Structure 1
Amino acid sequence: MQNSLYRQILGIRFYTGSAEQSVTQMQENGGLLVVPAAPALKDLPTHSAYREALLDADLVITDSALMVMVWNMLHRDRIRRVSGLEYLREMLQRPEARFPGNTFWIMASEESASRNLVWLRSQGILVPESHVYMAPMYHGSIDDQALLQRLEELKPKHIVVTVGGGTQERLGKYLKFHLSYRPAIHCIGAAIAFLSGDQVSIPVWADKMGLGWLLRCLSSPGRYVPRYWAARKLVPLLVRYRDQMPPSSDRDKIAAA
């Protein structure tokens, strides 16, 4: 197996370096970072907009413990998992991301924003009101002129997207191709919610063992058990297609027709 810091998995170019290396790359180069989890990755054949967003990302990290485990078994490889939570912890240790006005936060809701901002303040990270944006419900193709205008006025170095998987990647791609400058766009989803109390707390040891999914299921079975049970569909995709992109069923295009 190659010793490169990249692996082609299901047609997606995954970065297999450490969290520290990933954050450094984004700080130095900007662009779009995504952290696809198994429940979303299983939909690669059926969600063309999501698939294209992953292909257009500049850095894709190995957040899915299931994907990493199956890949390593199939290929006798030893790539490591870097979760969105580990990445965010590392990012928030860097002075550049902590400096007021350098980082713009796109939040999923008022309630989530309130908890997240309280936690950030407790860590000594002050976020100006101007640098917080409540994401609307995005249906179909994304076109958010209000967000673009705010970002063009402020020009933050970092944009952190905390909305749900499947949507955040498409939003990140939209920003990457519509902004006039190149910030670092970090699509880290629920990672901050595990720290702020907006979702169940995931200790460092549980994250390192890839048990975040289990804690989420135990905290809210009705919400998360069906989601992670459906993620099992990723396994046959990995077994069958390995480094190749699964063929598209074009469900998105059919729905839009």
Structure 2
Amino acid sequence: MQFRFEDGATVTVNCKDEAELLAKVRARLAGEQPFAIATINVDHLQRLPEDAAFRHAYAAHDLICADGNPVVWLSKLAKKPVSLVPGSDLVVPLMREAVAAGVPVALVGANDDSLAKAADRLRELVPGLTVALTHAPGFPFDPDGAEGAEIIEKLRASGARICLLAIGAPRQERFAIRARNALPATGFASIGAGLDFLSGHQQRAPKIMRQAKMEWLWRMLSNPKRLAGRYARGFTILPGQALKAWRQRSDPSGPSA
């Protein structure tokens, strides 16, 4: 499934499910190839047309999956179905791939306490995991600035081969491409709040709400001041995206959604 924009940039959801994504990660680790993983959701879809740097970074990602039920619904409407693969659900599986490949990992997130607790929790969940680096950028973090370059050098020195980025969109996606291009054997995964869920700094929606496809409501109610407007803006683009998805049904090559 594809999302195409007026300037010609194209974002392709090219991993239909978690198994396919992890198989591609495994192959890239084995071949010492870099990669960048993005997990697209409605918030991203709303921002992409408005932010050229975000859009072009997103289009440069190697592996993209659907992090949001509306994206899954759009894919079904386009007759190019993909499964839900939330970024937070990828954290532990990616760490297991790192252990299987015998490579260390890095965690880049919002604050030192959350990162330390997430690293400890990951070591419990994934025996044998080596966390070679944790780093919390300053605020506001400029992914194209001097601190971005410093983090890249820290990653290079650490030897990490998978780096989880939990610094929020669009910063994490923009930094992922810059760092992937600078570090030719390292993979980057933008996983949003995944590390904060592990550390306990944020509480994830109960399983029953996730199964009912209502995790968005849980998150909005947990922080309405920050998220209510974001979700409202996201919902306004869905009718137009649904029309574009419908038009994809008759195009086997999967152009614009």
- TM-score, normalised with respect to structure 2: 0.80
- Which of 112, 115, 121 lines up with 1:113 in the alignment? 115
Whether the 8 Å CA contact 1:195–1:201 is kept in 2: the answer is no
Which of the residues 174, 191, 195 maps onto 1:192?
195
The answer as to 2:8 corresponding to 1:8 is no
Change (3 A) 1:148 1:241: same
Take 1:111 and 1:205, find their aligned partners in 2: how far apart are those partners?
29
Of structures 1 and 2, the one with the larger relative CO (CA 8 A, separation 6+) is: 1
Tell me, in whole angstroms, the C-alpha distance in 2 between the residues paired with 1:71 and 1:125.
36
C-alpha change, 1:162 and 1:126, in structure 2 (3 Å) is farther
Mean alpha-carbon deviation: is it higher for 31-40 or for 107-116?
Answer: 107-116
Give CA-to-partner distance per residue, 1:96-121, whole Å, 9 cap, x none.
2796x610111111232243234324
TM-score (norm 1): 0.80
Looking at structure 2, the residues matched to 120 and 140 of structure 1 have their Cα atoms a distance apart, in angstroms, of: 26
Query: What does 1:24-103 align with in structure 2 at a 5 Å threshold?
Result: 24-29=23-28, 30-73=34-77, 75-94=78-97, 96=99, 102-103=104-105
Tell me the residue number matched to 1:249: none
Paired amino acid for 1:182? A
Bigger mean CA offset, 77-86 vs 43-52: 77-86
- Extract structure 1 runs of 4+ deviating beyond 3 A: 92-95, 124-130, 139-143, 202-210, 239-243
Q: Which amino acid aligns with 2:157?
A: E
Whether the aligned pair in 1 keeps the contact of 2:92 and 2:125 (CA below 8 Å) is no
Structure 1 residue 135 and structure 2 residue 137: aligned?
A: yes
Structure 2 partner of 1:148: 152
| Aligned equivalents of 1:14, 1:69: Cα separation in 2 | 13
3-state SS of paired residue (1:147): helix
Which amino acid letter does the alignment assign opposite residue 19 of structure 2? E
**Equivalent residue pairs, number:** 236
CA 215–126 in structure 1, closer or farther in 2 if over 3 Å, else same: farther
Matched residue, 1:211: 214
- Residue matched to 2:234: 231
Residue identity over aligned pairs, in percent, reads 18
Unaligned runs of 5+ in 1: 1-6, 246-257
Instruction: Provide the residue aligned with 1:202 in structure 2.
Output: 205
